[in-house]
Structure 1
Amino acid sequence: MEKSNVEHLFEWLDQTSELLGKHIDEPYLESLTNAMDVLFYQDVPKDMDDILTNKLEKALKDIDISSFKTEEIRKGIQLAILKGMKDSTQQQHLMTPETVALIVGYLADKLTSGKEKIRIFDPASGTGNLITTVLERLKQDVDAFASEVDPTLIQLAVLNANLQSKKIEFFHQDSLRPFLLDPVDLVVADLPVGYYPDDLRASEFELRADEGHSYAHHLFIEQGLYYTKEAGYGVYIIPEFLFESEQAGKLNQFLNKHAHIIGVIRLPESAFTSERNQKSILILQKKGEQTKGVKQPLLVQMPSFKNAKAMSDILGQMNTWFQANKNNL
C-alpha cells in the first residue's frame, strides 16, 4: 500500500529526529526542532560533522514538502510531536486533541464571519497546533499572534507555522506579563491549569487569590479579555471544574462584570485520558457599549467524536443556533 503524505512526513521527521538524537545526544523534542529546521530551510547546518551532513542531505532528497497540503503537514508534525511528548514528563508538554482544535476552529469561523479582516491571539500556544488549526478554518485576512514561555515548545510552534506557511507573530515570554500588542478580535487558548507562581505579578489581576497562589487558568481568562477589543470574543478550552473550585465565585463576578457568556460546550469524556483531565469550551464576548449578549446561551453536550451521525446532528443544531442569534453576536 502506498503511504499517505501524513505517514510519509511523520516517518521522515521521526527517523531524522532519531538520527539527530543519536549523533547529538539530546531529547527527542529538541531533535525534532532540528529536523523541522532542516526540512524548512532545505539545508543542513554547517556545524554538523560530515557523516551526519551526508545522511541529512540524503534524507532531504526523499521528501518534497512543497507538494504536501497544509493539513497533511500539520497532521504529520502533530504525530511526531505527540511521540516526543510521550517521553516527556513535563505537564505543559501536552497537545490540544485534534478534534477539540477543529471545534474551536469551527466556533472561531462562526463568531468572525462577516468580518473581512481580523486579529487573533493565542496566549498559551504550546506547539502551535491550536492556532494553526483555527487559522486553517478562517477565510478572511488574519493577523495572528501567539505566546509561549517554554523554549522548546515555541521553537516547535514557529517551525510548525513556517512549514504550514502560516504567518504568526510569536512572543517568547510569560504570557501573564504585559504584551506589546494592540487588542484583537478573537482570543483562543487551551488554558494551562494550575497555580501561577509569581504572586507579585498576580496581585495586579482582579482574579488574584485572596491568599496563596492564584489560579493560572483564571488569570489567563482575565489577560485574554484585557487584550480583546470591545465586543470581541474569547474561545477557551477550560477544565471541567472551572466553575466549581473555591475561587469560582470570584470568577463568576468578574465574568458578569466584563463579559457575556455566549456558550459552554461540554466535550465528551472519551476525548480525554481520564475524568480528571475532562475539558469544556467556554465562549465569551467582551462587553461593550453596543453588545447585548444572547438570551439563550449555546449549551451543548458533545457526543463521542466517533459517532458521525450524532456529531452531524449536533453541528446542525449549533448552525441553527448561530443563525438565530447572529443579530446579537
Structure 2
Amino acid sequence: MEKSNVEQLFEAIDHLTNTVQDSMNETYLDSLTITLDSLFYQEPPENMDHSLTEKLQLIPDITGYDVVEIRKAVQLAILKGMKGATQQQHLMTPETVAMFAGYLAEKVTKGEENVRVFDPAGGTGNLLMTVVEQLANLQHVAAGEVDQTLIKLAVLNANLQRKEIEFFHQDSLRPFLMDPVDLVVSDLPVGYYPDDIRAGDYQLKADEGHSYAHHLFIEQSMNYTKAGGYLIFVIPEFLFDSDGSDKLHAYLQENAHMIGVLQLPESAFKSDKNRKSILMLQKKGPDTTALKQPLLVQVPSFKNTKAMNDILAQMNHWFSENLNM
C-alpha cells in the first residue's frame, strides 16, 4: 500500500533523528530539535561534527507538503519521543481533543476581528497550532513554556508550519509582557507548583503547603484575558472534586460565566487517570451576562461518526441559540 505524505515525512524525520541520537548520545526529543532545525533551513546546523553533517545531507524537501501534513508528521515524531514519559507536562494533547478545542474556539470567536490567542502552557505547541488552524481574523498568537526542550520543539514546529507565534520561555505563573487576549486555550498542567512565594500572589493559593499548578494557571489565564473574552481549558476530570475546589468554585463564580463543560470520551485517553474534560468560560465584563443554560455535553467516541454528527448538530444549535452565532 502506498504510504501517505504524513507517513513518508515522519519516516524521514525519524530516520534523521535516530542518526543524530546515535551520533550525539542525546535523548530522542533533543535530537529531534536538531532534525527540525535542519529541516527548516534545509541544511545541517553549522557547528555540527563533520561526520554527522555528512549523514544529515539527505534532508527531505518540505515544500511539497502542506501545513497540516507537516504538523501531523512532527506530532508523530514528538509522540515517539514522549513514549514512556512519566511527567504529565510531557504528554501531548491528543489530536482529536485538540481538533475539538479548535471547533469550540472557532464558535466563540466567530465574527470577531483581530483575534488575540494565548496558551500559557504551550508545551510543543500542538494544541495551540491545531486550534489556530481553525480560526480566522487572527492578529496575534502567543504561548508560554518553561521547559527548554519543549519550547525549542514548539518554535521549530511553528517555523515549519509557517505560523507566526510569539513564545515566552519562562515560568508561566510569573508576569508576562503582553496585553490581554480575546481567547485563552490551554491543556492545564496538573500537579503542585513548587514556588510557594510566587503562589502567594494568587487568590487560588493553597491555605497550607504547595498550591495546585492547575488552579493557579486558571487564575493566571484570567489575568491575561480581556473582559468578555473566552477561556477554553482541557482539565483533569477531578478538577472540581479535589482539595481547594471550593475556593476555585467561588473564584470562578466571582470572575467568570460558565459557558460549558464537555466530558471527553474515555477512548481519547490511554488510561482513566489521564481522562480529561473541556471547560469553557467567559471572563465577566460590563457587557456580559450569565447563560440560563450552559452547554453540558457527554462527548461520544470520536470514532462513532453518527453519534458525533448528532452531538455536533445539537451543539451548533446551542451556539446559535445562546451565543448568537
- TM-score, scaled relative to structure 1: 0.97
Residues 86-105 of structure 1 aligned to structure 2 (within 5 Å): 86-105=83-102
Matched, 1:301 2:301: no
Matched, 1:72 2:56: no
Following superposition, the deviation at residue 69 of structure 1 comes to 1.0
1:278 to 275, 293, 307: 275
Partner letter of residue 133 of structure 1? T
Matched, 1:161 2:149: no
Matched, 1:12 2:12: yes
Name whichever of 89-98 and 10-19 sits farther off: 89-98
Residues 178-217 of structure 1 aligned to structure 2 (within 5 Å): 178-217=175-214
User: Where does residue 253 of structure 1 map in the other structure?
Assistant: 250
User: Where does residue 326 of structure 1 map in the other structure?
Assistant: 323
Following superposition, the deviation at residue 309 of structure 1 comes to 0.6
* Structure 1 stretches of 4+ moved >6 Å: none
The whole-number CA distance in structure 1 between the counterparts of 2:69 and 2:199 is 40
User: Where does residue 115 of structure 1 map in the other structure?
Assistant: 112
Unmatched tracts of structure 2, length 5 or more: none
Unmatched tracts of structure 1, length 5 or more: none
Partner letter of residue 22 of structure 1? D
Deviations, residues 170-194 of structure 1 (Å, cap 9, x unaligned) = 0000000100010000000000001
Give the 3 Å change call, closer, same or farther, for CA 4–254 of structure 1 in structure 2: same
User: Where does residue 220 of structure 1 map in the other structure?
Assistant: 217
The whole-number CA distance in structure 2 between the counterparts of 1:40 and 1:267 is 35
The whole-number CA distance in structure 1 between the counterparts of 2:158 and 2:281 is 26
Partner letter of residue 304 of structure 1? S
Deviations, residues 162-215 of structure 1 (Å, cap 9, x unaligned) = 101111000000000100010000000000001111110001100011111111
User: Where does residue 55 of structure 1 map in the other structure?
Assistant: 55
Following superposition, the deviation at residue 277 of structure 1 comes to 1.2
Name whichever of 236-245 and 137-146 sits farther off: 137-146
The whole-number CA distance in structure 1 between the counterparts of 2:88 and 2:322 is 38
SS in 2 for 1:182: coil
Query: Is this contact kept in 1: 2:85–2:91, CA < 8 A?
Result: no
User: Where does residue 244 of structure 1 map in the other structure?
Assistant: 241
Deviations, residues 239-275 of structure 1 (Å, cap 9, x unaligned) = 0011111211000100010000100000011111111
Following superposition, the deviation at residue 9 of structure 1 comes to 1.1
Matched, 1:132 2:120: no
The whole-number CA distance in structure 2 between the counterparts of 1:10 and 1:164 is 15
The whole-number CA distance in structure 2 between the counterparts of 1:246 and 1:178 is 26
The whole-number CA distance in structure 2 between the counterparts of 1:271 and 1:137 is 20
User: Number of paired residues?
Assistant: 325
Partner letter of residue 286 of structure 1? K
Following superposition, the deviation at residue 43 of structure 1 comes to 1.4
User: Where does residue 144 of structure 2 map in the other structure?
Assistant: 147
SS in 1 for 2:133: helix
Query: Is this contact kept in 1: 2:101–2:131, CA < 8 A?
Result: yes
Following superposition, the deviation at residue 50 of structure 1 comes to 2.9
Following superposition, the deviation at residue 83 of structure 1 comes to 0.4
Following superposition, the deviation at residue 87 of structure 1 comes to 4.6
Residues 21-40 of structure 1 aligned to structure 2 (within 5 Å): 21-40=21-40
Alignment identity in percent? 64
